[in-house]
């Protein structure tokens, strides 16, 4: 992303580090590894400290994993660009098994995601969820040490680190929709910089459009770490199709809605909100942990 921003500014690749210095900010979400996010404040713990630096002027833009960006925005900040999206799918990882169906009775499934946990329990209520948090390397090491029999990770994260060969199989995004925005990055800026030439150059319109639809559902469902919900949008010509689902935390019940609309931002967000609201009505309070 550093080189992409430098290129958008007209800076030569060899001067990127000087022209666009990286400021590393470790968030509370990164530091606390022994509890679920819902116990310590939710997804905002991955963005709060970074957004404070943006508001204070210590940084000029922030790059987040879109699936970690809360639905509610900080006043004065905007998502200025969505670069081209990576693969949206979840990857099944195990030392000895090929997929969820092949896991033995009562196998331990490692995940920190309520959505992934509920989706797996919907298919296999016998599985035993095990909390696994940390970066990709940490989770892979825990799996190798026997902390779980299998786990699910975003394929995009594995690919960005060159670790995609660890995936034994991939989860169909229609059968089990990923987190809204999974596989996409969010370039966040102060509102005054939203129309900057460099920001516009980073935006990939089709990716931004699918993310808009999925996050519309996120807004409607008040998606947080307390709601096991997923959404998957794709574009076919001039039409956008979207599937939204939410499950009870124990995976016992699943509520799904499908729809399509013109491939335009205003229509995509409206469709996301409509489907999300319909799922919310269907599931009610049973959807919230």
Instruction: Report the alpha-carbon distance of residue 45 to residue 222 in Å, rounded.
Output: 17
Taken in order 105, 36, 242, 281, the sign of the CA dihedral is positive
Question: In angstroms, rounded to a whole number, what is the distance separating the alpha carbons of residues 167 and 142?
Answer: 15
Interacting residues of 178 by C-beta distance below 8 A, sequence separation 6+: 67, 88, 89, 90, 154, 171, 230, 231, 232
Place of tokens 């940490």: 138
Candidates 60, 68, 137, 193; catalytic one? 68
Instruction: Tell me whether residue 120 is exposed, middle or buried, using C-beta atoms within 10 angstroms of its C-beta: 0 to 12, 13 to 18, 19 or more.
Output: buried
Q: Are 194 and 80 in contact (CB under 8 A)?
A: yes
In the annotation, is 68 catalytic?
Answer: yes
Q: What is the set of active-site residues? A: 68
């Amino acid at each position: 992303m550093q080189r992409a921003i430098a290129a958008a500014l007209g800076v030569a690749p060899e001067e990127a580090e000087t022209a666009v210095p990286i400021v590393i900010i470790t968030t509370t979400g990164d530091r606390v590894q022994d509890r679920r996010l819902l116990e310590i404040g939710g997804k905002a713990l991955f963005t709060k400290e970074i957004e404070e630096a943006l508001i204070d002027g210590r940084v000029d833009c922030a790059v987040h994993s879109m699936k970690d960006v809360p639905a509610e925005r900080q006043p004065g900040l905007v998502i200025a660009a969505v670069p081209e999206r990576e693969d949206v799918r979840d990857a099944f990882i195990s030392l000895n098994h090929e997929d969820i169906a092949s896991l033995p009775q009562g196998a331990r499934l490692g995940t920190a995601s309520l959505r992934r946990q509920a989706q797996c329990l919907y298919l296999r209520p016998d599985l035993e969820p095990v909390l696994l948090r940390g970066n990709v390397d940490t989770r892979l090491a825990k799996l190798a040490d026997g902390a779980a029999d299998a786990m699910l990770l975003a394929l995009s994260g594995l690919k960005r680190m060159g670790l995609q060969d660890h995936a034994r199989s991939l989860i169909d995004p229609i059968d089990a929709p990923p987190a809204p925005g999974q596989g996409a990055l969010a370039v966040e800026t102060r509102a005054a910089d939203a129309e900057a030439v460099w920001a516009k150059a980073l935006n990939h319109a089709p990716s931004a459009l699918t993310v808009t639809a999925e996050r519309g559902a996120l807004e409607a469902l008040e998606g947080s770490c307390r709601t096991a919900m997923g959404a998957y949008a794709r574009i076919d010509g001039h039409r956008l199709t979207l599937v939204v689902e939410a499950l009870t935390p124990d995976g016992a019940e699943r509520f799904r809605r499908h729809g399509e609309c013109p491939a335009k931002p205003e229509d995509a967000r409206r469709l996301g909100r409509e489907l999300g609201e319909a799922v919310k009505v269907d599931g009610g309070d049973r959807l919230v942990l």
